[in-house]
Structure 1
Amino acid sequence: MRRLPQALARADTLDAGIQKTVAHESAYKQVTGRAQYLDDIPEPPDMLHLATVGAAQACALIENIELDAARCAPGVVDIITQADIPGSPDVSPVFHGDLLLAGECVDYVGQPVVAIAATTLEAARRACAQVKVRYRAQQPRLSVQEALNQKDLVLPSQTLRCGDVDTAIANADHQLRGDIYLRGQEHFYLEGQISIAVPNEDGGVRVYSSSQHPAEVQKLVAQVLAVPLHRVQAEVRRMGGAFGGKESQAAALACMAAVFAVRNQRPVKYRMPRRDDMTQTGKRHDFWNQYRVGFDRDGVIRGVEMDLAALCGHSADLSDGVVDRAMFHADNAYFYPAARISGHRCRTNTVSNTAFRGFGGPQGMVAAEAMLDDIARALGADPLDVRKRNLYRGNRNTTPYGQTLDEELLPLIEQLEQTADYRNRRQQIRAFNASSARIKKGIALTPVKFGISFTSKHLNQAGALLHIYADGSIHVSHGGTEMGQGLHTKIAQIVARGFGVDLARVHVAATATDQVPNASPTAASAGTDLNGMAALNAVNTLKQRLLEHAAETYRADIEQIGIRDDQCWIGERAIPFNELIKGAYLARVSLSATGFYRTPGIGYDRAAARGRPFLYFATGAAASEVEVDLYTGEYRVTRVDILHDVGDSLNPAIDLGQVEGGFVQGMGWLTSEELLWNERGQILSNSPANYKIPTAGDVPEVFNVDFFNRSHLAGKADEETVFRSKAVGEPPLMLAISVWCALRDACASLADYRFSPPLGVPATPEQVYFCARAAKNFAEAQS
């Protein structure tokens, strides 16, 4: 059963080209198999294929590498170690330590040590088995707790402060402490990591990459080759999923392929088999979160202290920003009058963890929601009531880092509370649990408040290049990348709406660094906000030229001229758009323009830990109901109701897909996707056989999604986003926290809802079983 947003029903009555249910621009190609991904490109006969030798130790010195047998292996063309890299071997996105190939030592099991190019991938992999590496093993550090004890951090800890925390907690009516360990998550994109490099005659290379950040691919390839940036072009047509896993870590494949391409003057493909991909690429960060909270008799928080410790891996990668965002979202939707929130970036001998949808935000939010549940159980109150009492509202609207909220979540939550029939269902669940010995039900309604903007200010910029050809067709290039989320479709709609022409006129090109330079990654849910505004800026430039041309040509007042419905209107006279363009070309009017946008009004002082890192907040809420089998720990998600604020949706169907998909992916992280390593630091969950992502059978039986309906966005967001839309990429993932809370709620029923039993992430059946046992033991001890 699936109830669709009302916006889908009314979409065809809205303006043409935007706020309309338009199919994804590649949907037909993807369904029919015509959409071309990198591995679909026909291979020239001289193409080389790459494979790497991964380290067998998590922490060791390299004493010797024996390559003779591999050099003689059939099909082998070239072999390199770190010493053969012409430029810098460091391919870190921000800091240092991410090496293309290991040098004197290795820092995690699977770290590439040797790379081999052969005529086929199979030949390259067979040759890798012939390489002998001798190590001098050292003691690895594998856990957050070990790193904290040894004060081994990839970067210094940071703290957000507001108010007198210790006094606020001490003077509160009640105090609680708690902690929770959240495991990471494998990106599990359908298209694995892959890159193709084609050398050119000038010592440079063109790289085709499955990357969210072509500009960074260009920069790092240039650094590795020791050539200027203009010698490298990076291009991305589409990705078969990314979820953050191709923001920084795709660059290494492009760099490796480029080195071999230039060395051998042959095209090179580097495609990681799934097992190598899951071993050599980073995940969502594990977090160990601890809290101390003081609250009054109604559950209203007076003071909070939190420590958020992330398992970063052997290098920084993007961990600084990930932990920052976890700290920014450790309040989720709740006002902390006094707070001290610290973030720790722990170094371990594991693969360097990286961006994942939500970028640390989910890990911070789970800590907040676990704490609110604990407060409610301590008071014997309904968790929803405690949540509502602590929401940002009125003059309680300043975050611990000093940003004032314009958005209020209470109207949205109360609307969902009614449409999901939360109160009646809560009573029914209590009655059911009282009479059922084996099956227990649980329900939870949790909010999401997610900041939209890159927290690194310089990334909040975008460019676009727009051409109108003489036949009236429009060609758009922008800096964002398409990974299935519908960005290109939305950009085409924005351009069509901006001009007032048919959507069929607009074509969005592959993303390429020689079309739009210095572009930011497609991440932080800001792809449409940034690139849509840049494209609209270019549209407005060209549209003004066309209006001035029409005014001069037809001797009319420019104020009386408009373009709509694919025609130029001069009073009551309609000129077809392509006729207008032909006339402009003959009159030598430039029909090409660049666009640029930088997010206004944001800025964060990291030293002072104060500022406005986000332009606005995306908000939503979800109510989830579960059934738990106490004998086995198995469970079902029986119903989910979601109300999410997407502003004035640019494309309701695409936004619906993002909400549904994000929720299910978040549910996978919180319930079934378990990453495990052994005591040697070797990953155990390295294939679909031992890592469980959600399937169609895990989708809730009743899945109701609707968009929050209001006439305009709250605060400044309605003025400063493209056509008053709101970002929708990452926030829905965190709606799935309601499932985790509902599982805990079901187990808490065994203790008459007066105890919050510990439940890890992911909440596998084993975890749920032990959670229920803990609640039962508590109840027995109390009796």
Structure 2
Amino acid sequence: MNKPVDSFIRQAQGVRVGVSRAHESAHLHVAGEAPYTDDIPELAGTLHAALGLSPVARGRLVGMDLDPIRAMPGVVAVIAAADLPGVNECGALEHDDPILAEGEVRYVGQPVFAVIARTRDAARRAAARAKDVLTIEPLPPVLTPQEAHALGQYVVPPSHLKRTSHPGGVAGAIAGAKHRLKDTLFVGGQEQFYLEGQISYAIAQEDGGMLVHCSTQHPSEMQHLIAHVLNLSSNQVQVQCRRMGGGFGGKESQSAVFACIAAIASRQLGRPVKLRPDRDDDFLVTGRRHCFHYEYEVGFDDDGRIVGSEITMVSRAGHSADLSAPVMTRALCHFDNAYWLPDVAIHGYSGKTNTQSNTAFRGFGGPQGAIAIEYILDTVARKLGKDPLDVRRANFYGVDERNVTPYGQLVEDNQIAPLVAQLEASSDYRARRDAVAAYNASSPVLKRGLALTPVKFGISFNVVHLNQAGALVHIYGDGSILVNHGGTEMGQGLNTKVAQVVAHELGVNFERVRVTGTDTQKVANTSATAASTGADLNGKAAQDAAHQLRERLTAFLVEKHGPVDVRFADDTVWVGAQSMSFVEVVKQAYFARVQLWSDGFYATPGLHWNRETMQGKPFYYFAYGAAVSEVVVDTLTGEWKLLRADVLHDVGRSLNPAIDIGQVEGAFIQGMGWLTTEELVWLPADSPRAGLLATHAPSTYKIPTANDCPPVFDVRLYDADNAAETVHRSKAVGEPPLLLPFSVFFAIRDAVSAAGGHRVDPPLQAPATPEAILTALAAVQAAC
């Protein structure tokens, strides 16, 4: 981790990357002056939309009398599926996701019609009468992944990943092992809970054009879908996004229904239309992280080394495919986490349920895949009476052997063993393990737990063609620089890093560079800002554009001054022994008619993936990390507290240590919430409101707060360059650290296990709410 003094010295030396800088919009955030989509001044005549939602989880839509809605005060229009000018579909990959329900309803909260009114309150009041105007013949809903799996009901075909060298296959390897283990596990989903909800503001333009301001991670996809629903070509649709108040994957594909409906209404009425659902409707309409049900069987030796493993993963996909297929693929490809699994079979099923269509969420299936092997190894250690860290270490990927993943990718630049060893020492893991045991021996009610868990996370989209990006860099006559790229800023500091890269490439002060909002009319055919690739892709594209400009200016100076060395640094250009300000060089170049703008492009090299065989190189590189967590659990109430967390995470050569540490801290707390407090509850099939998401507001859905941060929270960056040729040898930081709080969950499990003297394996499920902890404690105590 760069110390502040090191960062200051590096900046004084003209270095603009690898130094800690404040987020480029931080001064606007703290002053309340950073405009989001809802802050854009509304044009005269702006109307407001609200969605009429299905009150039934599954049924036939046999009637819809919208006249009473149209007659309500302030209502201007009501739009149903029949009113759409183009296709009634907004699926991300499959054509199975209607914008407005037609013929059937698939979940409680599915949009059936849209009300357009003069005020937002009038629109909401009218839309709330949906249950009064819809006639639906209810059908039995399927609500859990287990039910869907039993029925063979999936949104996409199952996926299978297998590797075996045993003569008897994976089953033979398991059967021949000295020890065997067979069990199930359930891990719940998670709401994105972005601070800024979904919102779109559509403004019809001249000659059939459409401008949509949208809080989205994927402006190009919104452009494509809006064009289809309006029967337009893409060049008639412009989507802009200056910033989001959080996204976490929830605004990658699922901003589509809001963008499309706002655009439809604006086109039909010829007036600007804004659609901003309240938090409850946002929860009810949109999907979230997939929950997973697991069935597994493993064989292992006396050291806890896995010799054979087979696991079936079933996700709650929801009513449509959305991004469930690639989420499951990443889950399958992350089941190995940091471990060599010689004989392994992994089966993935995306269960079709009558719930919201689940979607991308930070980690994109990786956390759901990796937690299963961590649960297995934690159980293996307890069965053998060993420290879980020793069992984990016995299974680590090797450097020169035992270093090929089940999907055929070589694990290069393997940092896991030295990184874990460094954290083990710096966190005093062994001494604290003894201290925890001593504490528990003298404490009958409060029990402490300790766990160290590692992370290996693959970086790249697992759809190869998405790994590309473009950027534009303009140098103006006064020496100021404007950058536009295809990524979106959702608070993660992407624009700050891109500005640093451009400033460094051109040898100018950071303050000289400004990054503008994402705009489909500036950089076309962009990929989503997702899969932790934002800085990797867009940083490289912006670097390419800036490099071209620097080379162009260098060629101009050499032509003017002869064959001399030219160097750009610290807002100054050295031409041989002579120095000039960057501004003066720009002025001279302009008068000499040198092009002072350039486009840049980047495509990640070396990726290939066969979806049929599930083999290839889907990831450009791996990011590594590890965390140690210590908790205390009250065995009478199930309450728990995180006492200390030590984190060491690999971001390669950090572009901005301050931002990267902030990302690690945020991911840790968010992941801890997923595994401990954030519980999603749908009312059961025998309930009068079957399929209703009961936890659809902050009053019933509990994300972590400042009080949940541990009093000791030591986050450090691992000191190592990225072996892959990334922008300044940095590594992605968005998603991998979300897996670090596995250590919190397994520390809680360790504390529960201590209540039974570590003789019984606790059947703790996630999230580990107090109720789940008490259930596990009861099982442990009953077995003792």
Q: Give the TM-score of the pair, scaled to structure 2.
A: 0.97
Aligned to 1:72: 71
Aligned to 1:294: 299
Residue 497 of structure 2 aligns to a residue whose secondary structure is helix
Aligned to 2:404: 398
Moved more, 459-468 or 122-131: 122-131
Q: Deviations over 1:310-330 (max 9, x none)?
A: 100000000001000110111
For the Cα contact (< 8 Å) 1:392–1:408, is it kept in 2?
Answer: no
Residue 386 of structure 1 aligns to a residue whose secondary structure is helix
Distance 1:548 1:571 in 2: 14
Alignment of 1:497-646 (within 5 A): 497-557=504-564, 560-646=565-651
Alignment of 1:675-754 (within 5 A): 675-679=680-684, 680-710=690-720, 712-713=721-722, 716-717=723-724, 720-754=725-759
Which amino acid in 2 is paired with 1:272? P
Distance 1:625 1:133 in 2: 53
Q: Deviations over 1:594-627 (max 9, x none)?
A: 1000000111111111111000011100000000
For the Cα contact (< 8 Å) 1:472–1:581, is it kept in 2?
Answer: yes
Alignment of 1:231-380 (within 5 A): 231-380=236-385
Match of 1:669 among 659, 665, 674: 674
For the Cα contact (< 8 Å) 2:52–2:129, is it kept in 1?
Answer: no
For the Cα contact (< 8 Å) 1:6–1:706, is it kept in 2?
Answer: no
Shift of 1:6: 4.8
Distance 1:577 1:283 in 2: 48
Which amino acid in 2 is paired with 1:694? P
Moved more, 122-131 or 158-167: 122-131
Residue 195 of structure 2 aligns to a residue whose secondary structure is coil
Aligned to 1:191: 196
Q: Deviations over 1:26-82 (max 9, x none)?
A: 101010011001111222231000011100111111111111111111111111110
Q: Are 1:459 and 2:455 an aligned pair? A: no
Which amino acid in 1 is paired with 2:771? E
For the Cα contact (< 8 Å) 1:178–1:371, is it kept in 2?
Answer: no
After TM superposition, where is structure 1 displaced by more than 6 Å over at least 4 residues in a row?
none
Aligned to 2:17: 18
Q: Deviations over 1:516-547 (max 9, x none)?
A: 00000000000000000000111111111100
Alignment of 1:33-44 (within 5 A): 33-44=32-43
Distance 1:615 1:140 in 2: 42
For the Cα contact (< 8 Å) 1:88–1:223, is it kept in 2?
Answer: yes
Shift of 1:14: 2.4
Aligned to 1:118: 117
Which amino acid in 2 is paired with 1:657? G
For the Cα contact (< 8 Å) 1:90–1:99, is it kept in 2?
Answer: yes
Shift of 1:586: 0.7
Q: Over aligned residues, Cα RMSD in angstroms? A: 1.0
Shift of 1:11: 2.0
Distance 1:354 1:8 in 2: 39
Moved more, 382-391 or 72-81: 72-81
Distance 2:423 2:501 in 1: 31
Aligned to 1:154: 155
Residue 180 of structure 1 aligns to a residue whose secondary structure is strand
Shift of 1:129: 3.7
Which amino acid in 2 is paired with 1:489? T
For the Cα contact (< 8 Å) 1:245–1:354, is it kept in 2?
Answer: yes
For the Cα contact (< 8 Å) 1:393–1:408, is it kept in 2?
Answer: no
Residue 448 of structure 1 aligns to a residue whose secondary structure is strand
Distance 2:719 2:663 in 1: 18
The share of aligned pairs that are identical, in percent, is 51
For the Cα contact (< 8 Å) 2:53–2:127, is it kept in 1?
Answer: no
Which amino acid in 1 is paired with 2:8? D
Residue 432 of structure 1 aligns to a residue whose secondary structure is helix
Equivalent pairs, count: 768
Distance 1:752 1:438 in 2: 13
Which amino acid in 2 is paired with 1:761? A
Moved more, 691-700 or 564-573: 564-573
Distance 2:69 2:27 in 1: 45
Aligned to 1:423: 430
Distance 1:648 1:323 in 2: 30
Q: Give the TM-score of the pair, scaled to structure 1.
A: 0.97
Aligned to 2:687: none
Instruction: Assess, with a 3 A threshold, how the Cα gap between structure 1 residues 579 and 9 changes in structure 2: closer, same or farther.
Output: closer
Distance 2:411 2:418 in 1: 15
Shift of 1:17: 1.6
Residue 246 of structure 1 aligns to a residue whose secondary structure is coil
Which amino acid in 2 is paired with 1:278? F
Match of 1:230 among 225, 232, 235: 235
Shift of 1:8: 4.5
For the Cα contact (< 8 Å) 2:201–2:214, is it kept in 1?
Answer: yes
Instruction: Assess, with a 3 A threshold, how the Cα gap between structure 1 residues 377 and 130 changes in structure 2: closer, same or farther.
Output: closer
Distance 2:343 2:415 in 1: 20
For the Cα contact (< 8 Å) 2:226–2:259, is it kept in 1?
Answer: yes
Q: Deviations over 1:663-710 (max 9, x none)?
A: 000000000001001021011001000000000000011100111123
Which amino acid in 2 is paired with 1:693? I
Residue 62 of structure 1 aligns to a residue whose secondary structure is strand
Distance 1:707 1:480 in 2: 25
Q: Deviations over 1:252-293 (max 9, x none)?
A: 111110001111111110001000001000010010012111
Distance 2:595 2:393 in 1: 56
Match of 1:414 among 418, 421, 434: 421
Q: Deviations over 1:136-184 (max 9, x none)?
A: 1111111111111110010111111111311211111111012211110
Alignment gaps of 5+ in structure 2 = 685-689
For the Cα contact (< 8 Å) 1:446–1:623, is it kept in 2?
Answer: yes
Q: Deviations over 1:442-478 (max 9, x none)?
A: 0000001110000000100000011111111111100
Distance 2:9 2:347 in 1: 49
Distance 1:279 1:117 in 2: 20
Aligned to 2:54: 55
Distance 2:159 2:470 in 1: 33
Residue 154 of structure 1 aligns to a residue whose secondary structure is coil
Which amino acid in 1 is paired with 2:79? I
Distance 1:283 1:472 in 2: 45
Aligned to 2:93: 94
Distance 2:146 2:71 in 1: 46
Which amino acid in 2 is paired with 1:751? G
Distance 1:167 1:9 in 2: 59
For the Cα contact (< 8 Å) 2:244–2:490, is it kept in 1?
Answer: yes
For the Cα contact (< 8 Å) 1:8–1:652, is it kept in 2?
Answer: no
Which amino acid in 2 is paired with 1:287? F
Q: Deviations over 1:361-397 (max 9, x none)?
A: 1111110110000110110000000001100013011
Alignment gaps of 5+ in structure 1 = none
Q: Are 1:766 and 2:765 an aligned pair? A: no
Residue 532 of structure 2 aligns to a residue whose secondary structure is coil
